[in-house]
Amino acid sequence: MKKLMIVLTLAAMTAFAGQAFAHSPLMSCFDNGDGTVTCEGGFSDGSSAAGVSIHVTDGDGKSVLETKMNEDSECTFDKPEAAYSVMFDAGEGHQVKIDGADIVE
């Protein structure tokens, strides 16, 4: 049973190696030109991103807005005045961050 312990140790060790999932999160954002920004999310395998958390933070990393993707995997929010970034957060290993400066009209 010593060898069984080895397998168990192996399992436990991989547990700390962090989990990774190959269904990759995707997000693209657009400046609507009317003071709002729209982000569209999804997953590489076509899964819906409805209900996924969206964090909008300012330049210092402070939270500006917490919202969620709607049923169409979209979310629209008022564009912050200063520097900002948007994070698509579907859990550990499933995050995408886009810098506000890269979101163009």
Partner 1 sequence: MGSRNLLVALAGQPNCGKSTVFNLLTGARQHVANYPGVTVEKKTGAYADEGRRVELVDLPGTYSLTSYSLEERVARDFLLGDNPDVVIDVADASNLKRNLYLLVQLLEMEAPVILNLNMMDVAERRGQTIDIAGLREILGVPVVPTKAKKGEGREALREAIRSLADAPSHEHAFRIDYGPMERYIAELEEKLCEDPVLSIRYPVRWVAIKLLENDEGAAELLAASHPEADLVMTLAESCRERFREEAGNAAERHIAFTRHGLCARMAGRTVTIPTDNRRSLSDLADRYVCNRFLGPVILVAILMVLYQVAIVFGNWLALQVWPLWGALENFAADVLPAAGFIDDPLLRALGLWVVKSTTAILNYLPIFLLLFALIAVLEDSGYMPRMAFILDRLFRRFGLHGQSTLPMILGGVYVGGCAIPGVMATKAIPDERARLATIMIVPMMNCLAKVPLYLILIGAYFADTGGFAMFFIATVTLFMALPVAKLLTLTVLRKQPSAPFIMEMPPYHLPTVTGVMRRAFERVWLFLKKIVTVVAAVAVVVFVLINYPGLTENRRAHYQAMQDKSLDAFMSAVDKTGYQGRISRDDVLSIILFNESLKRAKQGVTDQTESNVINARFEADNPVYYAVVKRVGKDGKALNRALKKVDRVRKKVRREARAERFETSFLGIMGRALEPVTQWAGFNWRINIALLSAFAAKENSAATLGSIYGIDGGQSVQESMKAGEAGFTALHALALMLFMALYPPCVPTSIMVRHQSNSTKWMLFSIVYQTLLGLFVASLVFTGGKILGLSGFQTMWAFYGLCVAATLVMALIPTPEETEVAPLINASCKEHCS
Computed on alpha carbons and rounded to an integer, the radius of gyration of the chain in Å comes to 18
Residue tagged 């995050």 (tokens): 95
Q: Which is nearer to partner 1, 62 or 104 (CB)?
A: 104
Tell which positions 28-67 bind partner 1, by CB under 8 A: 28, 30, 32-34, 40, 44-48, 50-52
14: contact with partner 1 by CB under 8 A: yes
What count of other Cβ atoms lies within 10 Å of the Cβ of residue 90?
A: 20
- Taking the CA atoms of residue 68, residue 74, residue 77 and residue 79 in that order, the dihedral angle to the nearest 10 degrees is 130
> Which spans of this chain sit near partner 1 (rule: CB under 8 A)?
1, 3-4, 6-11, 13-15, 17-24, 26, 28, 30, 32-34, 40, 44-48, 50-52, 68, 70-72, 91, 93, 101-105
